[in-house]
Amino acid sequence: MKKRIDGLKRRMEEKGFDVALLMYPRDVYYYAGTAQPCNLLVTLKEEPILFARRAWDFVQEEATLEDIRPGGSLKEIKKILHSFGVKGGVIGMEEDVLPARLYSKTAEFFEDFRCENISPLIMDQRMIKDLEEIELVKKSAGLFSHIHEVILNNLRPGITEVELATLIWVANRREGHEGLTAHRRWDGYLPGDGIVASGDNMWKISGYAMTVTGVGKSKALPWGSSDRVIQKGDLVMVDIAPSYQGYHGDIARTYVVGQADDRQKEVFGSLLKIMESVLSHIRAGIPVKELYHLAVKIAEEEGYGDYLQGYGSQKGEYIGHGLGLEVDEPPVVGPHADMLLQENMVLAIEPKIIIPQWGAVDLEDTLLVTKEGCEIFSPIDKQLFEV
């Protein structure tokens, strides 16, 4: 963890931050090794201090930092900063995820500081994975092999989407999925069993920047599996982001109940061309946006440009995203991504063709960016599985 703290300090100094006060559990876990309720205080010169707001026994056992203390009130933190000679400057907080009341209270209390958003620095650092993180993502992605087996053994006419999702959930949890799909977005959440969508539900798009979503059990959570009864000839898509020891994979595959018809084979064949073209183009140093533009180019050549990632006003401008402690990490693989691919980025690449009144086909792989290409972590072949 010292290397991660040192990396944060370096970024803080470069961007003019004097102090970081981190409270968000995902970030605290990244730097301190525990997701218990804690405040993490980082200054440029002193060793970091982890304050356990609750669960002191757990924090003592789990945390990887040397200076761990119970408490962590704002008054206590200010007193410590003054003892360090830090009585003003810029204090970094996670503006994108902290409750507004907590943020405003902290900003008012540290009246001699200027509060600024430190989340971009954190997410920039978290974007590049170390070896331990890579292995955890790989194990998480590997859980899809169990999911795939459940699908092959249970997908049949008469089963409902939610019944299939429940069987997937049980197998996934048994093999190590923690049951949580963590999102950075305050308005982004999914059922822990992911998305199972079939038939007419394949082309019904719910939510912002979503593509194949399913319709869910109710309007209170209109994503994921529903009570729809799966029928012979249906296309069925399963998209799950299991978490293993905090880290996510993200994989999707498309199935057909019975034998695929000619159009299903044709559309899937075009999707496979898009996917393989994008994957073959990935390597460190390539502009991220090139992957999106390449996918659009191939989709147009195949005659499905109007249906890549949705249709009409429901098209999503992306074909992938970063993965790690959260399932929606940077970079967004889209037309506005002004950065280069870097070695040890972990991405989910997810092109899909969605045709209204017909259905959809979907592929998603979790992968590691390398100097010369990419390493695919998904354990299942890319094909239209006939069940």
Q: Tokens in use for 115? A: 């509060």
> Which residues contact residue 387 at a Cβ distance below 8 angstroms, ignoring those fewer than 6 apart?
151, 152, 155, 156, 255, 256, 257, 258
| pLDDT tens for each residue of the chain, 387 residues long | 799 999 999 999 999 999 999 999 999 999 999 999 999 999 999 999 999 999 999 999 999 999 999 998 999 999 999 999 999 999 999 999 999 999 999 999 999 999 999 999 999 999 999 999 999 999 999 999 999 999 999 999 999 999 999 999 999 999 999 988 899 988 877 888 899 999 999 999 998 667 899 999 999 989 999 999 999 999 999 999 999 999 999 999 999 999 999 999 999 999 999 999 999 999 999 999 999 999 999 999 999 999 999 999 899 999 999 999 999 999 999 999 999 999 999 999 999 999 999 999 999 999 999 999 999 999 999 999 999
Cβ neighbours around 170 below 10 Å, total: 12
Q: What ranges in the chain are assigned the alpha helix state H? A: 2-15, 25-32, 56-62, 74-83, 100-109, 119-126, 131-142, 144-154, 161-174, 262-281, 288-301
Q: What CATH homologous superfamily does 2-126 map to?
A: Creatinase/prolidase N-terminal domain (3.40.350.10)
Tokens 């356990």 label which residue? 52
Asked if residue 366 lies in contact with residue 134, where contact means CB atoms within 8 angstroms, the answer is no
Cβ neighbours around 305 below 10 Å, total: 14
In this predicted structure, what is the pLDDT of residue 250?
96
Q: Where are the beta strands (DSSP E) in the chain?
A: 19-22, 38-43, 49-52, 68-70, 89-93, 113-117, 195-198, 235-240, 243-244, 247-248, 251-256, 320-322, 329-332, 346-349, 352-355, 359-362, 365-369, 374-376, 385-386
Picking from 187, 182, 185, 198, the residue whose alpha carbon sits closest to that of residue 236 is 198
Please tell me the distance from the alpha carbon of residue 5 to that of residue 32, in angstroms, as a whole number. 9
Please tell me the distance from the alpha carbon of residue 11 to that of residue 111, in angstroms, as a whole number. 24
Task: Provide the 8-state DSSP code for 48.
Answer: P
Cβ neighbours around 261 below 10 Å, total: 11
> What are residue 8's DSSP bridge partners?
none
Please tell me the distance from the alpha carbon of residue 111 to that of residue 128, in angstroms, as a whole number. 34
Q: Could you tell me the pTM of the whole model?
A: 0.95
- Domain-wise residue ranges, the chain: 2-126, 131-386
**How distant is the alpha carbon of residue 299 from its chain centre?**
25
Asked if residue 349 lies in contact with residue 319, where contact means CB atoms within 8 angstroms, the answer is yes
Q: Tokens in use for 138? A: 């790989």
Please tell me the distance from the alpha carbon of residue 253 to that of residue 148, in angstroms, as a whole number. 9
Question: Which amino acid would we find at residue 124?
Answer: D
Please tell me the distance from the alpha carbon of residue 274 to that of residue 113, in angstroms, as a whole number. 50
The topology (CATH level 3) of 131-386 is: Creatine Amidinohydrolase (3.90.230)
Examine residue 331 and say whether the peptide bond preceding it is cis (omega within 30 degrees of 0). yes
Positive or negative: CA dihedral 2, 244, 183, 321:
positive
